[in-house]
Chains A and B, each alone.
Chain A
């Protein structure tokens, strides 16, 4: 018998079911302050994920940073085909949600348990916004 996959419950969610590689950050995120919007690489000097690409990843961020301009930025990176597959936030703000929904990128807020207890960067995960769960399918 195999053990059931670890599951994270989320509080709020939007978008279709997606699967992908997890990218787990200890630091918050803004597509304006932290991201190179031409390559999809986090370039803000000193960011905990500096040098990591968010392209096609399931991105876990504890908080949202940044102002109103972030709302267009998600659509912009989706248009350039450098968007992540989903944004998973501990706490987010309206701009991130408006931006992700506008761009058609799945987004969730609130998590239990904390992702650090359930998964690592490189694990293969499935985000199911309808059921409000994130499952770890394979270890990276």
Chain B
């Protein structure tokens, strides 16, 4: 590949991967069976688009299944959200470039729920961070955080440098977390991610959860993982008796003693909710996004919004992918949510919406309320004051405009 026998696009990709691998001291490459990449005009900018044009013109083609992460524009809602028509044009061109390279533009950050479930020990090259931590932890697959350019390179070469979570030594638990809290809502699981991620911020930190009263659901693990990755930059956790590399605490720790033992109680979770500054108590923006909603989350929202109505002057956004949306439509969940006045966006994440800062200013939004601890953490750059609330409370806030 380095000699150019597979073409210039592949030569560039592998040369880049060699440099990244060398930095981390990788001894070799490992083959990957699936790639998930982030690529949209909001995150890439004009320079990134230019790079894609070049690679596409050089005949780049993915050699393994390569899907795309959530993007910044849902073309059906672009005008109503007053997104920039020029940027929308670039986004269309960008999508065309990716398709030319045989990238599957699935536009989802929940590929692990709807597209591909790797098996124990399978090497993949995924990003965003929520997909990586889910792959490593819940499936026992092996991936590092692969940024857009790195994931695309892996798609073109079918391999990735072996460092980080591809190696056994980085997958061992480093500290334990006993879960004594009830954790009845998805937002509670995100709150655990915040409580553990913030004080242990490191890519190389691997918490081992244990002692929980029942087995968590896929959506609960999704919110836990997304928050750990977001607050803690973490790429892996163990959950004793639940995740495949953690039959026991000892096995999860790989024979070492834990660096620290943490306990999470209901009081800790309540302190998270009490810790948010409500500012002017603006309750006009409620968001269910980051990660996109699963079909089960859509069903729950349909039940909660059934027969209700978003308060006049308020806005409520839900994001999901095209697969879930199609099923939610045929099952009637979508109608119940939309009848309440909720805007359901397809293939996007609220956090990276093109023109989000301008939207905030135009609507004079101060606060953003969400049941996702991840989006509450990351959207600050757009100068939102953010507040985490449980799913049912978020629906109440959207319908009453009252924030407590």
Contact = CB atoms under 8 A, between A and B. Distances in A.
A84 interface: no
A15 to B, nearest CB: 9
Of the candidates A32, A45, A94, A95, the one having the most CB atoms from chain B within 10 angstroms of its own CB is A94
A18 interface: no
Given A32-B381, A72-B44, A76-B44, A14 B147 contact: no
Given A12-B24, A94-B144, 11 more contacts: A14-B19, A33-B378, A68-B38, A68-B145, A69-B148, A71-B38, A73-B43, A94-B20, A94-B203, A98-B149, A102-B16
Contact of B47 (A32, A69, A80): A80
Contacts of B51: 75
Contact of B149 (A12, A34, A80, A99): A99
B19 A68 contact: no
A95 B133 CA distance: 14
Interface in A59-87: 63-73, 75-76, 78-80
Given A76-B45, A94-B144, A94-B164, A69 B352 contact: yes
Contact of A33 (B22, B44, B380): B380
A82 B233 CA distance: 26
B20 A101 contact: yes
Interface class of chain A by DSSP = mixed
B43 A72 contact: yes
Contacts of A120: none
Contact of B24 (A64, A73, A91, A97): A97
A71 B230 CA distance: 15
A67 B47 CA distance: 19
A69 to B, nearest CB: 4
Q: Which size class do B's interface residues fall under? A: 35 or more
Contacts of A107: 23
Contacts of B16: 101-102
Contacts of A75: 44-45, 47-48, 51, 149
A12 B25 contact: yes
Interface in B143-164: 144-150, 163-164
Interface string B211-255: 000000000000000000110010000000000000000000000
A67 B20 contact: no
Contact of A80 (B45, B128, B378): B45
A37 B45 contact: yes
Nearest to B147: A71
B203 A93 contact: yes
A68 B45 contact: no
B19 A101 contact: yes
Of the candidates A64, A68, A75, A76, the one having the most CB atoms from chain B within 10 angstroms of its own CB is A68
Interface string B317-354: 00000000000000000000000000000000000100
Contacts of A13: 23
A11 to B, nearest CB: 10
B190 interface: no
Interface in B15-55: 16, 19-20, 22-25, 38-39, 43-48, 50-51
A73 B148 CA distance: 10
B48 A45 contact: no
Contact of A72 (B148, B163, B201): B148
Contacts of B383: 45
Interface string B48-76: 10110000000000000000010000000
Contact of A44 (B43, B164, B381): B381
A69 B19 CA distance: 20
Contacts of A72: 38-39, 43-45, 48, 147-149
Nearest to A45: B383
B28 to A, nearest CB: 17
B363 interface: no
A98 B229 CA distance: 18
B150 A33 contact: no
Contacts of B22: 14
B204 to A, nearest CB: 8
A102 B24 contact: no
B361 interface: no
Contacts of B146: 68, 94, 98
